[in-house]
Structure 1
């Protein structure tokens, strides 16, 4: 990988926000391209890390779980080897969302870490380079394109004819999401979405996705969802989200136990939709569910409704807007006298 001609900073802090995966278009690849995704980068539930060139053995601080610590160790080892970097790099984790909830935390952590590592070691890597190196984007390109661009993203899936040389799903559309619209998010801390081997088994257990449904979803995305966002027309957008989520949710229901992974989240979202216009669904395998509404005032109303309908201790609620730009970074303070500095 080429090295940057500019002098690299000694330390940088990089921030990347979460994404909602709003649905696949054709999981079966009936026309030769598998999956295809629609997603949105949101302004919240972010990942923020600092990378610093170190003098001694690199440290990893601030991880929330042992699994996260081990994942960062593995990413660092891969980066050091691939880029031929011998100088140690310290990583400090400031915040990350809860893993396996449908917010794309694994991809954002990998891309944030890889980007920060490349910058402090003077290497010129694209986000695609980093994703390939760290094994991200196996099915969806939403998290990767969202890291670069933000906004509403549609990707074109992967070619089934050249799976041995799989490339990142191409970016087909990127639209600025209306600033006024809001999203109510509901997480169920008692559950995790499918991941790892369980996810692979779940996908393998599903029947082929009917070509007629893929055609319906393609039509829905191209002629309803994208035009509604372009024209800031909330009602057809909400209808398109509900239609897409119901269609894809019914397909994945045998693997996750229902259209929603969490019955409590489903109950809360259905209560919101019964009271006001909303686009409801689940991001990826969940358990995080969402309700799109037309304004901040409507979001507060939706929040109150959801909390009354499902007062479960395991549920947490937040209101977010879209993020219409990609990840950001800034120079950070070098570590001084062994202390953590951000």
Structure 2
């Protein structure tokens, strides 16, 4: 996404709606052919981040957020001021998903703040440029690419020092409108992050090249053809097998194929009754089941709730895929008249 370099009026406000994403798996964590990771991901039309930005007498950070998120925004503003403009701004977070739940909240928040800042103050910037400045997208490009375009995405993984920056987009397929995604999240847990994540990755054994080749084969010959032809069966089979394979690899550091046994129990129950692509987004604890339509989703929701009855920290919701990226728009206060969109 290229944000236009036209400064808004002094009383303007910029509003950014950044979508959440599901990280559906890595292709080659060990870089057996020279490129590490490579990712499959899906942008969803729920659990996104919304921020607003205005000029102010001094930098302000407002809204409902954790201390860590407030600190993240402060660091973003410091870098944005140094790179683009010293003008102080007020950032208000009006919505954000729970951090470290597997929905990409850190990248959403950083890109939303960065996009609001440059749009408000009239600087041209791409999402990739903002991600590089703000320290996002170094391992997986799904969050940054999803911010731009939505859909089901495949990135090529980072290429190293010769081509630093966000991994390239290799493939994008629109997610079928009729398909639904059941999200099952364990609100008593957090996914690995920060130093703990780095230690966990360092402790893992090398990922066998044979398995990396198998994952790429599943992606190219089952998952992508399935979504392109709107055929859930090969898509679900390929995705579930991919998730099982990568989950077994990460099991020593996350405690199992799924980070949450309760989430796993719910999703295994769903898959036992109907065709569904199941797995865990990133380090969890959010898991997913992708099914053919709204009726199947309601049945999957009932099954998941039955499987976790009496477990209050499990939350189940139905969402759709999102085939568009973030929205960035400027309004004039207080009349809230729309003046631009990107």
TM range (shorter): over 0.9
Alignment match, 1:74: 75
- The 2-side partners of 1:204 and 1:17 are apart by 30
Q: Are positions 1:50 and 2:52 aligned together?
A: yes
Match of 1:229 in 2: 227
Between stretches 8-17 and 211-220, larger displacement belongs to: 8-17
TM-score scaled to structure 1, two decimals? 0.94
Does residue 40 (structure 1) correspond to residue 39 (structure 2)? The answer is no
Contact 2:5/2:119 (<8 A) preserved: no
What is the rounded CA distance, in whole Å, between the counterparts of 1:133 and 1:225 in structure 2? Answer: 33
| Residue 264 (structure 1) aligns with | 262
Aligned residues, how many? 331
Aligned position for 1:189: 187
What residue in structure 2 maps to residue 253 of structure 1?
A: 251
Task: Decide whether the 8 Å contact of 2:6 with 2:119 is kept in 1.
Answer: no
The residue that corresponds to 2:110 in the other structure is: 110
Correspondence for 2:340: none
- Inter-partner Cα distance in structure 2 for 1:134 and 1:69: 14
**What is the 5 A alignment of 1:1-342?**
6-9=6-9, 10-54=12-56, 56-83=57-84, 85-159=85-159, 162-163=160-161, 166-311=164-309, 312-334=311-333
Deviation at 1:58, TM superposition (A): 2.0
Tell me, in whole angstroms, the C-alpha distance in 2 between the residues paired with 1:189 and 1:91: 27
Query: Residues 301 and 125 of structure 1: is their aligned pair in 2 closer, same or farther, counting only changes over 3 Å?
Result: same
Whole-Å Cα distance in 2 between the matches of residues 70 and 208 of structure 1?
35
Q: TM-score, normalised by structure 2?
A: 0.94
Cα distance in structure 1, aligned partners of 2:331 and 2:62: 16
For the Cα contact (< 8 Å) 1:155–1:171, is it kept in 2? yes
Per-residue deviation, 1:65: 1.1
Note the alpha carbon deviations across 1:36-89, whole angstroms, 9 max, x for none: 0000000000100001112x1121110321111111111111101111x22211
Residue of structure 2 equivalent to 1:339: none
RMSD: 1.6
Task: Sort the Cα spacing of 1:4 and 1:274 in 2 relative to 1 into closer, same or farther, 3 A.
Answer: closer
Change in CA separation of 1:111 and 1:5 when aligned onto 2, cut-off 3 Å: closer
Structure 2 alignment gaps of length 5 or more? 336-342
Shift in CA distance, 5/17, structure 1 to aligned 2, threshold 3 Å: closer
